[in-house]
């Protein structure tokens, strides 16, 4: 019990790097990653638009005001899955 294992030293090193390296660098890195994903998706959409000569199809709009929520069905104990099933239309 006198010495620390390699895992202890790795955890201490990670904490020191975060404290002295700055936690802001991690959030900045993740922000840059998000910007990269957005620009990649935008580039794909523009490429598809240029290839087809038209805009990509819009996602269908769902009017939730006129739809009733799905009814959950229950199964007898021990049968089927443990998650509620929604009826299929």
> What would the pLDDT profile of 20-61 be if each residue is shown by its tens digit?
777 677 778 788 999 999 999 999 988 888 777 655 555 666
Distance set, CA 9 to CA 19, 21, 26, 46, 71 (Å): 15, 17, 21, 48, 54
Cα 69 to the chain's mean position, in Å? 25
- List 85's β-bridge partners, or say none: 73
Picking from 61, 64, 59, 84, the residue whose alpha carbon sits closest to that of residue 74 is 84
Query: How many domains is the chain partitioned into structurally?
Result: 1
Residue 10 lies in a domain: no
Residue 38 lies in a domain: yes
pTM exceeds 0.75, yes or no: no
Range of the domain at 47: 23-55
Residue 34 lies in a domain: yes
In this prediction, residue 74 carries a pLDDT of: 62
């Amino acid at each position: 019990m006198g010495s620390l294992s390699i895992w202890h030293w790795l955890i201490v090193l990670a904490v020191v790097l975060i404290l002295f390296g700055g936690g802001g660098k991690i959030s900045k890195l993740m922000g840059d990653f998000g910007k990269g994903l957005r620009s990649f998706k935008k580039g794909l959409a523009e490429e598809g638009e240029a290839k087809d000569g038209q805009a990509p199809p819009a996602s269908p709009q769902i009017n939730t005001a006129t739809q009733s929520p799905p009814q959950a069905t229950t199964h007898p104990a021990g049968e089927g899955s443990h998650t509620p099933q929604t009826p299929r239309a």
